[in-house]
Amino acid sequence: MNIIYTISALLISCFLICCNQSAKACSMYKVTVDGKTMVGCNQDAWRTTTSIWFEKSTNETEYGACFTGSREVGPNEFAPQSGMNEEGLVFSRLVAYHPNKNLQQIEKKTITNEVEYLTDILHKCKTVEEVRRYIDRYDHSANNVIYMILIVGFGYWGLFDILN
């Protein structure tokens, strides 16, 4: 009986190893227990330039924030992949390719600076609803990527599939 079990386990293990299809994917989790929310994010392991930076609020109506990112978009400037502001609002970008739909949105702002667009989410928003209103003001039709931003604040969350 032990030999049959051992051989079966070896065959199943070999099959699983041979059929392994790896993916380099970002992931995020959110757990809320007894009023405490914990969030964890990872970035793809193939980038080795991950940075963490802090930005102070520029006035009394904004919030300071911490960001992580690895994609350099200019000299000493990285596009944030995730971040958290001093109010506890958290976002992380989870990206999936989507063919360009060539949709045009009337009366929406164009995203001219990706870094400013993303960092303003945490500098200017305190709640998930404020983030929804902020995101809805912009035209995302030029993107061929669906940005799914998970926002967490005080246990509330939203998964935003952003493709107008």
The model's pLDDT over 71-112, given as tens digits with 9 standing for 90+, comes to 888 888 888 888 999 988 888 887 655 555 555 556 888 888
Express each pLDDT in 61-74 by its tens digit.
999 999 988 888 88
Q: What is the rounded distance in angstroms from the CA atom of residue 10 to the CA atom of residue 2? A: 12
Q: What is the mean pLDDT of residues 34-44?
A: 77
Task: Give the confidence band of 56 by pLDDT, cuts at 50, 70, 90.
Answer: very high
Residue 23 has pLDDT above 60, yes or no: no
Q: Is residue 147 over pLDDT 80?
A: no
pLDDT in tens, 129-140: 898 899 888 887
Say whether pLDDT at 59 is over 70.
Answer: yes
Q: What is the pTM of this model?
A: 0.69
Which two three-digit tokens encode residue 103? 């949709």
Q: Which domains does the chain carry?
A: 23-162 (3.60.60.10)
CA 97, 84, 121, 58 torsion-angle sign: negative
Strand, coil or helix: 154 = coil
Query: Residue 143 — pLDDT band, cuts 50, 70, 90?
Result: low
- Tell me whether strands 138-139 and 109-110 are parallel, antiparallel or unpaired: parallel
Residue 22 pLDDT grade (very low, low, confident, very high; cuts 50, 70, 90): low
Tokens of 4: 């049959």
Name which residue leads in pLDDT, 142 or 134: 134
Higher pLDDT, 85 or 163: 85
- At 40-53, the pLDDT tens digits run 877 665 677 788 99
